[in-house]
């Protein structure tokens, strides 16, 4: 295989939005059959660079070469013609069409001028066979689990003869075994000479799958190196630009955890996914929930918040047994939930930050019976300052903020209600490293102020860095309860989760 000529090469790419430069003289190349990781904080320029490659944005300066030949990528059609395929983070399939119809959309095989769906199905099946995966091409996309959506997207790119695949956080919505399947597929694609740009925040994955890494920071390329020659610390330092990977180290908390039990759950069950769970949380304590996808973590917090109805068991808060069967009741009892999918469940993306922040607080923001704009703005400004939410002005649309700042808005919104028990479901998912450490610090601060936190995270270092105690869930029940001191290493916890220890 000729690895001398890169599959794609971007040279001296410059791009500004208005007067704001987002890419400064960036070089980036991917060899044939190489997996090249692209890392950087949100806003570092990763997605802009990739959108230029896909023809969504136009570069201001620089050149792009595909297989050694200069190409003009003026729009998405040109990019596809040049062999650049994208596996989107937010899926790019038509849910109501079948797998085969999606794969050949705009490229449908025809017979006598009409679409030949049977042939499309057969061709799709051939592609899946080559990928060594099993997907039924005649199913509609919406009826399949998301892991299969991604395979469909990859098949779609391959059907268009893509030489380069751009994968943006491809494991974000996958369970562990599904992610393993994806990694195996990536290996097979490599041997076929497909070049892959792999965008990810997850260090373990990058080491697992990538050959080289390029790090962008503030629009400039700060590192390109073979992963054999670079340590995780060096990568993190390149990404955040300061000697501070310290956010993943467990810090002793400044405030003592009190003896007082705030929340006591006994034999709680809800449907088949949550069985007989008992736990205690004390004032000022951070309880981490670990477990695989589908282990019942989300179901547990959703039941505590009244979204799922308990079928058995009791919930006691401050010594009082309560019947929590709706979120309203949970809120009244000073419980708040920061949900897993902030875009769908936590925010009204089209509304202003002020409106989102004060939505649960409106009762306290009235004057003479009507909502007071002045009070809403004042309260919002307090929260924005308290949580260091970075925005141009408080009235800006939430949807236009970065992922990390959106998450801070969700947290600020619920802490505004002054809850005693805060449930957080994957609060750092899809957030860059800088904001991640801010959110983790925030969690510590919240607990130090005498609130109790139950935190779900799939990223174990993160869980280990903040939790006082970790509950491991498996198949809907508690398989282990561990004090932080009892966990010597990430590997130990990983084994406990897998059920091997």
Partner 1 sequence: MSTKTSTNTALNMLKRFEWRQNIIYIGFAAVFILFAVLLSDSGFSNPNNLLNIFRQTATISIMAVAMTYVIAAAEIDLSIGSVAGLAAVVTAMTINSYGLIPGILAGLAVGAISGAISGGLVAWLKVPSFLVTLGMLGLVVGVARWITASAPVPIADQTYITIFGGGDIGPIPGLLVWVVVAVTIGAIVMNKTKFGRHVRATGGNLVAAGFTGVKTAKIKFMVLLISGIAASFAGMLYAGRLQSGRFQWGTGDELSVIAAVILGGTSLFGGRGQVVGSLFGALFIGLINNGLILAGLDVSQQQVVRGAIIILAVALSRKK
Contacting residues toward partner 1, per CB under 8 A = 56, 76-77, 80, 86, 88, 91-97, 101, 105-106, 108, 110, 113-115, 117, 138-139, 143, 156
Q: How far is the CB of 145 from partner 1 (least distance, A)?
A: 16
Q: Is 315 left (phi over 0), alpha (psi -120 to 50) or beta?
A: beta
Q: How far is the CB of 501 from partner 1 (least distance, A)?
A: 41
Q: How far is the CB of 81 from partner 1 (least distance, A)?
A: 10
Distance CA 283, CA 262 (A): 6
**CB-based contact 34:192 (threshold 8 Å):** no
**CB-based contact 267:276 (threshold 8 Å):** yes
Say which residue the tokens 């600020």 belong to: 412
Nearer to partner 1, 149 or 387 (CB): 149
Nearer to partner 1, 169 or 438 (CB): 169
Q: How far is the CB of 84 from partner 1 (least distance, A)?
A: 12
Q: How far is the CB of 52 from partner 1 (least distance, A)?
A: 15
Q: How far is the CB of 92 from partner 1 (least distance, A)?
A: 4
Distance CA 153, CA 84 (A): 13
Q: How far is the CB of 447 from partner 1 (least distance, A)?
A: 40
> Bridge-partner residues for 261, per DSSP?
282
Nearer to partner 1, 71 or 105 (CB): 105
Nearer to partner 1, 42 or 138 (CB): 138
Q: How far is the CB of 409 from partner 1 (least distance, A)?
A: 23
Distance CA 156, CA 159 (A): 5
Residue 177: exposure state from Cβ atoms within 10 A (0-12, 13-18, ≥19): exposed
**CB-based contact 322:315 (threshold 8 Å):** yes
Q: How far is the CB of 155 from partner 1 (least distance, A)?
A: 13
Nearer to partner 1, 138 or 329 (CB): 138
Half-sphere exposure of 397 (CA within 13 A, CB side): 5
Q: How far apart, in Å, are the Cα atoms of 200 and each of 235, 256, 379?
A: 12, 36, 36
- For residue 156 the two structure tokens come to 């779609």
363 backbone dihedrals φ, ψ, rounded to 5°:
-60, -35
Q: Give one DSSP letter per residue of 103-166, joined into a string.
A: HTTTS--EETTEE-HHHHHHHHHHHHHHHT----TTSBGGGS-HHHHHHHHHHHHHHTT-SEEE
Nearer to partner 1, 103 or 235 (CB): 103
Q: How far is the CB of 432 from partner 1 (least distance, A)?
A: 23
Say which residue the tokens 């790090």 belong to: 215
- For residue 341 the two structure tokens come to 């999918």
Of all helices (H) and strands (E), which one includes residue 404?
helix 403-415
Nearer to partner 1, 104 or 414 (CB): 104
Nearer to partner 1, 3 or 110 (CB): 110
Q: How far is the CB of 453 from partner 1 (least distance, A)?
A: 36
Nearer to partner 1, 106 or 254 (CB): 106
Nearer to partner 1, 59 or 80 (CB): 80
Nearer to partner 1, 88 or 183 (CB): 88
What does the H/E/C string look like for 446-493? HHHCCCEEEEECCCHHHHHHHCCEEEEEECCEEEEEEEHHHCCCHHHH
Distance CA 54, CA 199 (A): 14
Q: How far is the CB of 431 from partner 1 (least distance, A)?
A: 23
Nearer to partner 1, 121 or 451 (CB): 121
Nearer to partner 1, 105 or 377 (CB): 105
Helices (H), 192-231: 203-209
Close Cβ partners of 89 (under 8 Å, ≥ 6 residues apart): 168, 169, 170, 172, 199
Residue 140: exposure state from Cβ atoms within 10 A (0-12, 13-18, ≥19): middle
Q: How far is the CB of 17 from partner 1 (least distance, A)?
A: 20
């Amino acid at each position: 295989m000729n690895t001398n000529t890169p599959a794609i090469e971007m040279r001296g790419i410059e791009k500004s939005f208005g007067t704001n430069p987002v890419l400064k003289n960036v070089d980036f190349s991917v060899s044939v059959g190489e997996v090249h990781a692209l890392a950087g904080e949100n806003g570092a320029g990763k997605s802009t660079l990739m959108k230029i490659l896909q023809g969504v944005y136009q570069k201001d300066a620089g050149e792009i070469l595909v297989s050694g030949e200069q190409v003009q990528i003026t729009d998405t059609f040109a990019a596809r013609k040049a062999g650049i395929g994208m596996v989107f983070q937010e899926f790019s399939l038509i849910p109501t069409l079948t797998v085969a119809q999606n794969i050949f959309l705009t490229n449908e095989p025809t017979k006598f001028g009409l679409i030949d769906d049977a042939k499309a199905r057969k061709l799709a099946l051939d592609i899946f066979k080559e990928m060594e995966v099993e997907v039924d091409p005649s199913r509609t996309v919406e009826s399949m689990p998301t892991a299969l959506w991604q395979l469909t997207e990859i098949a779609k790119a391959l059907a268009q003869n893509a030489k380069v695949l751009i994968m943006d956080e491809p494991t974000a919505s996958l369970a562990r075994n599904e992610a393993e399947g994806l990694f195996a597929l990536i290996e097979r694609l490599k041997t076929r000479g497909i070049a892959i740009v792999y965008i990810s925040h997850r260090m373990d994955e990058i080491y697992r799958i990538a050959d080289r890494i390029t790090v962008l920071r503030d629009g400039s390329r700060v590192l390109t190196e073979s992963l054999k020659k670079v340590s995780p610390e060096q990568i993190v330092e390149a990404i955040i630009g300061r000697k501070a990977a310290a956010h993943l180290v467990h810090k002793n908390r400044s405030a003592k955890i009190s003896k007082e039990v705030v929340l006591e759950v006994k034999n709680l069950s809800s449907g088949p996914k949550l069985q007989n769970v008992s736990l205690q949380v004390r004032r000022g304590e951070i309880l981490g929930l670990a477990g695989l996808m589908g282990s019942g973590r989300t179901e547990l917090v959703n039941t505590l918040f009244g979204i799922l109805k308990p079928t058995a068991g009791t919930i006691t808060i401050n010594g009082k047994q309560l019947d929590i069967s709706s979120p309203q009741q949970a809120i009244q009892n000073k419980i708040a939930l920061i949900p897993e999918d902030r875009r769908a469940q936590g925010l009204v993306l089209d509304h202003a930050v002020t409106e989102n922040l004060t939505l649960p607080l409106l009762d306290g923001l009235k004057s003479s019976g009507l909502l007071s704009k002045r009070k809403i703005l004042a309260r919002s400004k307090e929260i924005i300052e308290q949580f260091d939410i970075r925005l141009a002005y408080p009235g800006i649309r939430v949807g236009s903020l970065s992922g990390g700042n959106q998450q801070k808005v969700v947290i600020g919104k619920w802490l505004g209600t002054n809850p005693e028990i805060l449930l957080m479901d994957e609060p750092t998912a899809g957030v860059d490293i800088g904001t991640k450490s801010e959110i983790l610090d925030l969690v510590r601060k919240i607990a130090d102020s005498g609130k109790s936190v139950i935190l779900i995270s799939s990223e174990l270092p993160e869980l280990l860095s903040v939790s006082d105690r970790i509950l491991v869930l498996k198949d809907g029940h508690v398989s282990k309860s561990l004090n932080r001191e009892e966990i010597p290493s990430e590997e130990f916890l990983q084994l406990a989760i897998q059920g091997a220890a």
